[in-house]
């Protein structure tokens, strides 16, 4: 019951006008760092309380970080809060709220690839953002969670 009340409090706090306006002023890197510090703290707290996922006990800081990375990679592929979706649905890369782009995993990776990396070809920006980078992140995440991967059992 305490966890449910805590989640309600967090929802109230992190959806206040002050908080949302703060987030709106951040770039995608800053917004994602703020978001993932919050998520990591939550996962680490749950790990200390005995978090088990699919029968695998998450107990170390490295495993928690690996779980966080796996979560990040998954959300890059399924969040749909990025300029690519804006372009496909409206024909323009403009017009999205900073809060949507700055605090989404896919928005961050798109920003790094397209804006910082200079990959402005939309086909390649899409492939790198939603395929290549999530695979690479997942490999590192699984290593942190389970140890050295075995290619042949």
For 45-85, the pLDDT digits (tens) are 878 877 777 677 778 888 889 888 988 898 888 787 888 88
Render 9-33 in DSSP notation, one character per residue: HHHHHTTSHHHHHHHHTS-HHHHHH
Q: Is the confidence at residue 151, as pLDDT, over 60?
A: no
Alpha-carbon span 58 to 113, nearest angstrom: 31
**Do residues 96 and 84 touch, judged by C-beta distance below 8 A?**
no
- Gap between the Cα atoms of 109 and 126, Å rounded: 10
What pLDDT score does 149 carry? 54
Q: Assess whether pLDDT exceeds 60 at residue 152.
A: no
**Domain boundaries along the sequence of the chain:** 2-146
**Helical H runs in 14-117?**
17-24, 28-48, 61-78, 83-90, 98-102, 105-110
Residue 34, exposed/middle/buried by CB under 10 A (0-12, 13-18, 19+)?
A: middle
Q: What residues have CB less than 8 Å from 16, skipping those under 6 apart?
A: none
Give mean pLDDT, residues 116-139. 94
Residue 153's pLDDT is what? 53
> CA–CA distance from 61 to each of 5, 35, 90, 114 (Å)?
25, 18, 42, 32
CA distance 9 to 2: 11
Q: What is the mean pLDDT of residues 15-44?
A: 87
Confidence of residue 130 (pLDDT cuts 50, 70, 90): very high
């Amino acid at each position: 019951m305490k966890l449910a009340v805590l989640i309600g409090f967090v929802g109230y706090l992190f959806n206040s006008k002050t908080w949302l306006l703060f987030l709106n002023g951040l770039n995608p890197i800053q917004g994602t760092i703020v978001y993932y510090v919050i998520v990591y703290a939550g996962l680490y707290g749950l790990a200390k309380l005995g978090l088990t996922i699919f029968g695998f006990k998450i107990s170390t800081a490295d495993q928690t970080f690996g779980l966080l990375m796996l979560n990040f990679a998954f959300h890059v592929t399924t969040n749909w809060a990025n300029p690519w979706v804006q372009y496909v649905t409206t024909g323009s890369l403009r017009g999205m709220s900073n809060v949507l782009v700055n605090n989404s995993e896919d928005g961050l990776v798109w920003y790094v690839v397209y804006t910082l990396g200079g990959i402005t070809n939309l086909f390649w920006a899409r492939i790198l953002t939603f395929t290549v980078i999530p695979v690479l992140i997942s490999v590192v995440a699984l290593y942190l969670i389970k140890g050295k991967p075995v290619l042949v059992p």
